[in-house]
Amino acid sequence: MSFKLRSIVCVTLVGMLVAIGAGTSFASQMVLKFAGQSAADHPATKLMNGIAKEIADKTEGRIEVKVYPASQLGDYSLVYEEQIRGTIDMSCISVPSQFDPRMELIYINGFASDYDELKTVFAQDGWMFKKMDEFNERLGVKLLGFFVEGMIGTGTTKPAKDPLNPEVNKGVLIRVPGMDVYKLAAEAMGYNSVGIPYADVYQAIQTGVVNGVNGYPVASAYTTLGDVLKYWYMTNYSVEVLNFMISGQTWKKIDGKDQKIIQDILAKATIDSINNAKELDAHHMELMKKKGIEVITYTKEELAPIMKAAASTWPKLEKNMTKELMDEFRKELGPK
């Protein structure tokens, strides 16, 4: 091969390598960290993995999502802070209220008592989504959707007196989560309540410090408290819900076409979680029965008195939530 020919070949090869390198750089993926608080085998994490795969498929590899379950990147408050900073991209977590107490809007009791209602309440074009997105965006985070784990009931070690009549004291001391929305609703329904750390609930029931719990969805009550509960009242007065979110800084880096793809995927994931929650609740109530727990379920009409009682506590939330927000909440989601 002549010197001239060798030179031409070398120049051609170099040109090809430069072109390939430039092409690789152009097609490089955006890799997003997706943080979750649930265990690796939890339905929320399974859905996160499905979302990650679907985003990669539908963006044709332009966006890769890596899932980090079980609080591997920190608890939900830290993850939220990191999303504000832009160091964690996506999350499926409880929304912390220390940054804005109005965020507890999502936890208010008494606004929906069945799964079909939840599909309307949590839809991307619904008032709840728009309001929560507004609060998040002020902090630099964008809401994408919701993960509904299940409807919430009451588990006890002894029978509750006249459980659907809020005028009757139930004769049961129950543990409630440390938020006014739960304490006020439980007491309005006729329960005596006390705050106990989550990690101490099992022992508190086992030793008789309390007679039961409020604030647990069915699957969680069965898996963590199934050995100590004797009665399960499926009161549906509230819902266990996590939030799918993305850092505002990350969102701005994604082009409009891929933003639309992600929004559509998360809208579907929200509905899928509600459908799955209905099935999971029914499944775990059957497991409760097999374990010897007496399970009592009700129709939407039968639940109306305690839903009304829970709603009667909403004015007491105005101190932190503001009267303006609660007036809007009552208008949009209050009893018709």
Q: What is the mean pLDDT of residues 107-119?
A: 93
The average pLDDT across 210-229 equals 94
DSSP 27: T
Is-contact 243 94, C-beta < 8 A? yes
Residue 294, φ and ψ in degrees, nearest 5? -80, 120
Q: Which residues pair with 294 in a beta bridge?
A: 231
Question: What local confidence, expressed as pLDDT, does residue 73 receive?
Answer: 97
* Predicted TM-score of the model (pTM): 0.85
Segment 12-37 shows an average pLDDT of: 61
- Domains of the chain (ranges, CATH numbers): 7-333 (3.40.190.170)
43-58 vs 256-290: helix axis angle to the nearest 10? Answer: 150
pLDDT at residue 11 is higher than 50: no
Query: CB pairs under 8 A, 24+ apart, for 173-178?
Result: 173/210, 173/211, 173/212, 174/210, 174/211, 174/212, 174/213, 174/214, 175/201, 175/204, 175/205, 175/210, 175/212, 175/213, 175/214, 175/215, 176/213, 176/214, 176/215, 177/215
Amino acid 23: pLDDT: 41
pLDDT in tens, 241-268: 999 999 999 999 999 999 999 999 999 9
Q: What is the pLDDT of residue 1?
A: 52
Q: Rounded to an integer, what distance in angstroms lies between the CA atom of residue 336 and that of residue 317?
A: 20
Q: 167-178 pLDDT, tens per residue?
A: 999 999 999 988
Instruction: Dump strand ranges (E) for 41-137.
Output: 63-68, 90-93
Instruction: Report the distance separating Cα 208 and Cα 221, nearest Å.
Output: 17
Cβ atoms 109, 215 nearer than 8 A: no
Residue 20: per-residue pLDDT: 44
Tokens 């090809």 belong to 16
pLDDT tens for each residue of 64-86? 999 999 999 999 999 999 999 99
Q: pLDDT per residue over 206-217, tens digit each?
A: 999 999 999 899
Looking at every residue in the chain, the average pLDDT score rounds to: 91
Q: How confident is the model at residue 332 (pLDDT cuts 50, 70, 90)?
A: very high
Strands 192-195 and 141-156: unpaired
* CA distance from start to end of the chain: 89
Q: What is the CA radius of gyration of the chain?
A: 24
